[in-house]
Amino acid sequence: MGQKVHPVGFRLGILRSWDSNWYDDKDFAGKLQEDLRVRNYIHNRLKKAGISRILIDRTPKKAVITIHTSRPGIVIGRSGKEITQLEEELKQITNKEVKILIHEIKRPELDSFLLAENIAGQLEGRMSFRRAMKMAITSAMRMGAE
């Protein structure tokens, strides 16, 4: 039997970068848990926003969080109200200055995480799995997937 390699670990540094960019000698585990808490909080708070990826860059006094989303209007809110409120809430979690950047996903049908989330939602809504898969495949192919 062949050796199994994790697909993300296999691509790190070549085709894809790390989701967290920082270094800490002493409190590495604490920072890693904090990153996990931030990611879980954002995913739970913005379930309807179609979040695909959350990138965290840290400096000693500041954290920059980049959210890749298919619906940036939900994350930003009316006149930026939601994003400033989210920054304040994350500031309490991290005890640092937080800046949030929004990156829009132009074609969400081609994003694997969003596609899987969409199929899971359809299956939870009691749709036939064959129909859900067929619809997802046709929409991805229509958008230019190979």
* Residue extents of the structural domains in the chain: 7-105, 109-142
Segment 55-59 shows an average pLDDT of 94
**Residue 30: predicted pLDDT:** 92
Orientation of helix 129-142 relative to helix 112-124, angle to 10° = 150
Torsion of CA 80, 87, 62, 32, to 10 degrees: -130
pLDDT of residue 131: 96
Does the structure show a pLDDT above 90 at 37? yes
The mean pLDDT value for 71-76 works out to: 92
State the pTM of this model.
0.86
CATH number attached to the domain at 7-105: 3.30.300.20
Pair 107, 68: CB distance under 8 Å: no
Going by C-alpha positions, the residue among 90, 103, 82, 36 that lies closest to residue 63 is 90
Q: Are 57 and 21 in contact (CB under 8 A)?
A: yes
